[in-house]
Amino acid sequence: MKQKEILLFGATGQIGRNLIRKLTKNNYKITAVTRNIHRAGYILKTQANPGYLRLVELKTFNPEKIDELMQNCSICINLIGILYEKKKNFFKIIHSDLPDLLSKKANDFKIEKFIHLSALGIETAKESSYALSKLQGEDKIKKNFKNYIILRPSIVYSVDDNFTTQFMSLINKLPIIPLYYNGGTKFSPIHVIDLVNIIHKMIDSRYKQLTLECVGPEELSFKEILQNLLLSIDKKRILLPLPYQIAKLSAKILQLFPKPLLTEDQLKLLKYDNCISGKYKNNFDIGLESLREFKNEIDKYSYNWRTGGQFANKNNVN
Ligand SMILES: NC(=O)c1ccc[n+]([C@@H]2O[C@H](COP(=O)([O-])OP(=O)(O)OC[C@H]3O[C@@H](n4cnc5c(N)ncnc54)[C@H](OP(=O)(O)O)[C@@H]3O)[C@@H](O)[C@H]2O)c1
């Protein structure tokens, strides 16, 4: 059987890198699109055996270039996403206009399937521009192309993430960690390997017109997540609930940094639980169980942030 050719957008991210490893090991050929082939080359070249991975540089979403790529693929996977707006990177362009263009092209070239990564909880958090743009992107895909699969993950974590690793670095530096909304917002963190297994299964499945919520085995509040991280790196910190107005002010300041830890828009998102809605199928419903537990998994890489570890604060006491 001829192996499927996969066209992958957003290949250099946490999910993309893990997906390339999984798919190329299973003999899929991947064309990975990036804005900077030299930077991406260093990250991606070790993810696959020779012959299974081709890197293509695309600085802008040029429709003619996308035509060329789309006509040679059977599956297109879109992992491009941003957490905050900077310079010309607007939510609308990335989360709505790009999926619109890709799904139209998927339809024009009659490819087998378009798999798109959206996010959990976007229907309830509509006051957030991030959530609204993700929702608009989903609507465009559904209108343009019938063989779509939309995956909506909760927080995705691993040693490669921007979430647990950033928080463990922060815990190392700060004596007090702020809690937004009293730390009560709930999440169902899913390990990147479990999510990548779901994407892999979706490629050959007969599912189409599917919106699937992707969650891990637990529901943890933001406070419980922090407590697990503290326990795992063996540190004690004050978890301080911040009144909303102060949280908003801190987000206003933090969002000015080049890689902000928190923006006003993220603060709006944080207000809503990030767990299964019951409105859509989730991975457990269709037999794709994600059994990796948060604490067990972070224990495997958190040693880097414990006292004496590579990323621990050298001047820090417990
Ligand atoms: N990680 C999570 O916790 C999580 C949770 C829910 C949903 N998701 C969604 O899952 C998808 C993948 O997440 P991830 O964590 O792997 O993301 P990531 O690590 O932030 O990577 C994002 C990718 O998007 C590309 N990108 C960013 N801005 C771009 C732009 N202006 N033009 C073109 N490409 C751009 C980057 O590619 P280059 O720099 O190589 O061009 C990068 O490979 C995203 O859609 C995200 O919203 C993630």
Predicted confidence at residue 45, as pLDDT, reads: 82
Number of domains in the chain: 1
**DSSP class per residue in 267-295:** HHHHTS-BS--SSSEETTTTT------HH
Predicted confidence at residue 49, as pLDDT, reads: 86
Answer yes or no: is 311 within a domain.
no
Range of the domain at 44: 5-156+189-214
Predicted confidence at residue 235, as pLDDT, reads: 95
Ligand 1 shell residues, CB under 6 Å: 10-16, 34-35, 40, 79-82, 89, 94, 117, 119, 153, 155-156
Predicted confidence at residue 98, as pLDDT, reads: 98
Contact between 149 and 210 under an 8 Å Cβ cutoff? The reply is: yes
What are the helix (H) ranges across the chain? 14-25, 37-44, 63-70, 91, 98-108, 129-144, 164-173, 192-204, 222-232, 244-254, 264-270, 294-299
Predicted confidence at residue 308, as pLDDT, reads: 86
Number of the ligand 1 atom closest to the C-alpha atom of 88: 31
Answer yes or no: is 296 within a domain.
no
Predicted confidence at residue 178, as pLDDT, reads: 95
Answer yes or no: is 125 within a domain.
yes
Predicted confidence at residue 76, as pLDDT, reads: 98
Answer yes or no: is 256 within a domain.
no
Predicted confidence at residue 318, as pLDDT, reads: 62
Predicted confidence at residue 137, as pLDDT, reads: 98
Number of the ligand 1 atom closest to the C-alpha atom of 120: 6
Specify the pTM.
0.96
Helix (H, G, I), strand (E, B) or coil at 308: coil
| 318 Cα: distance to centroid of ligand 1 (angstroms) | 34
Q: Which residues of the chain have pLDDT under 70?
A: 1-3, 315-318
Among 80, 85, 259, say which to mutate for ligand 1: greatest number of ligand atoms within 8 Å of CB: 80
Predicted confidence at residue 155, as pLDDT, reads: 98
Answer yes or no: is 180 within a domain.
no
Number of the ligand 1 atom closest to the C-alpha atom of 163: 3
Cβ atoms < 10 Å from Cβ of 307: 14
pLDDT, tens digit, for every residue of 115-137? 999 999 999 998 999 999 999 99
| 177 Cα: distance to centroid of ligand 1 (angstroms) | 26
Q: Whose CA is nearest to atom 19 of ligand 1?
A: 13
Answer yes or no: is 138 within a domain.
yes
Distance CA 244, CA 181 (A): 7
Answer yes or no: is 295 within a domain.
no
Q: Whose CA is nearest to atom 23 of ligand 1?
A: 10
Answer yes or no: is 225 within a domain.
no
Among 45, 82, 290, 297, say which to mutate for ligand 1: greatest number of ligand atoms within 8 Å of CB: 82
Q: Whose CA is nearest to atom 46 of ligand 1?
A: 81
Structure tokens, 185: 């917002």
Predicted confidence at residue 263, as pLDDT, reads: 96
Predicted confidence at residue 166, as pLDDT, reads: 93
Which CATH number goes with the domain that contains 65?
3.40.50.720
